[in-house]
Amino acid sequence: MLVYALRRLVGAIPTIFIIITAAFFMMRVAPGGPFDQERTLEATVMANLNKTFGLDRPLYEQYGMYLGNLVRGDMGPSFIYRDKRVHEILAEGLPISMQLGMTALLLALAVGTLLGTLAALRQNTKTDYAVIAVATFGITVPNFVVAPVLSLVFAVILSWLPAQGWGDWRQMILPVIALALPQVAVIARLVRGSMIEALRSDHVRTARAYGLPSRMVVVKHALRAAILPAVSYLGPAAAALLTGSIVVEQVFNLPGIGRYFVQGALNRDYTLVMGTVVIVAVFVVVFNLIVDLLYAMLDPRVRYD
């Protein structure tokens, strides 16, 4: 399995290289540049800026320089946040986004699995309908509605929790709930569907026939199979959650990196956009690998030799 994992990681290098190259040139095709803004700059000032940032050089040269720097772990200077380099900006925000995302992910996995299992065990009862209702709500009501409402109710009206900011564990509660809610919904629905199927499968029937206690049958035998779809969903979901959410970060004023995905592109902050692309690409590759490895652990039919 180790060989397999290493082979996959090495195989991912060309993929990431192609993504970086495509992103680099696509970004430059977009009209406008980092210094085009409401206040048009003087021609001299613009020329000085372009020279300072090397934008006056041919594109292939800029590309070569970017790759050269990247290999050395330097993602270049941000065109907008001029006091920092891109890797410094990402290093400040990424741990925060990851902490939030990871907490939300674990919460979603625990609550979603629990709800999905309950619904499957009590199929077509009030419990089941309640779970489906919550799940549908979670999927359909977008974050930009849930997050401000949470903040309004728990911070402004009830004054139980802070409305915004970062640094105190209490400031994590509302954003984590806002991030986790849609994931809870998806996971609950996935687990419910596969659990219903698993409960009808041969090995579970056999386990019951052996007279194993119901709890053991569900947790040890049925759940192991039922959780597989949720696990394969978790790969891309984790990559998305851990790299932050622009909505939740803006509503709760959190210093994560989610905002850079949109802001970077709108500001034409070329290096910042490239930085976010690299991070997401790496996360997607790594989490897909983790999911595949988890599959091998959970499903005895899957083996990587």
Partner 1 sequence: MKIGRITCAALSVSLLALAAGTAGAVTYQRGNDGNPETLDQHKTSTVAEANILRDLYEGLVVYNTKAEVIPGVAESWEVSDDGTVYTFHLRDDAKWSNGDPVVAGDFVFSLRRIMTPETGAKYANILYPIAGAEAVNKGEAAPETMGVEAPDDHTLVITLAQATPYFLELLTHQTGLPLHPASVEQFGADFVQPGNMVSNGAFVLESNTLNDKIALVKNENFHDAANVALDGVNFLPFEERATCVRAWEAGEVQSCSDLPTEDVDRLRAEYGDAVRVVPYLGTYYYAFNHDDELLSDPEVREALSMVIDRQFLADEIFEGMLPAESFVPPGIGNYSTGSPKTDYFDMSMLDREDKAIEILSAKGITPETPATIELMYNTSENHKNVATAIAEMWANVGVNVEFNVRDASAHYAHLRDKGDFDVARAGWIGDYSDPQNFLFMVESDNDGFNYANYNNPEYDGLMDAAAAEIDLDKRAALLQQAEALFMRDLPFLPLLYYSSHSLVSPKISGWDDNIQNVHPSRFISISE
User: Which residues of this protein are in contact with partner 1, per CB under 8 A?
Assistant: 30-45, 48-49, 51-53, 80-84, 89, 92-93, 148, 151-152, 155-156, 159, 162-167, 249-256, 259, 266-268
The smaller minimum CB distance to partner 1, of residues 69 and 201, is found at 69
Tokens of 285: 């590759």
The smaller minimum CB distance to partner 1, of residues 150 and 191, is found at 150
Rounded to the nearest whole angstrom, what is the least distance from the CB of residue 222 to partner 1 in the complex?
44
Rounded to the nearest whole angstrom, what is the least distance from the CB of residue 119 to partner 1 in the complex?
35
The smaller minimum CB distance to partner 1, of residues 269 and 292, is found at 269
Q: What is the DSSP letter of 155?
A: I
Rounded to the nearest whole angstrom, what is the least distance from the CB of residue 156 to partner 1 in the complex?
5
Tokens of 242: 């851990």
The smaller minimum CB distance to partner 1, of residues 84 and 122, is found at 84
Q: Phi and psi at residue 265, in whole multiples of 5°?
A: -70, -45
Query: Is residue 109 a contact partner of residue 116, using CB atoms and an 8 Å limit?
Result: no
- Please work out, in degrees rounded to the nearest 5, the angle formed at the alpha carbon of residue 137 by the alpha carbons of 261 and 165: 45
Strand partners, 85: 77
The smaller minimum CB distance to partner 1, of residues 166 and 233, is found at 166
Rounded to the nearest whole angstrom, what is the least distance from the CB of residue 276 to partner 1 in the complex?
14
The smaller minimum CB distance to partner 1, of residues 130 and 265, is found at 265
Q: How many CB atoms lie within 10 A of CB 154?
A: 17
Rounded to the nearest whole angstrom, what is the least distance from the CB of residue 189 to partner 1 in the complex?
30
Q: What is the DSSP string of 202-266?
A: HHHHHHHHTT--HHHIIIIIIHHHHTHHHHHHHHHHHHHHHT--HHHHHHTT---SHHHHHHHHH
Q: Any residues with CB less than 8 A from the CB of 60 and at least 6 apart, and which?
A: none
Rounded to the nearest whole angstrom, what is the least distance from the CB of residue 4 to partner 1 in the complex?
39
Q: Which amino acid, 238?
A: A
Q: Cα 82 vs. chain centroid, distance in angstroms?
A: 27
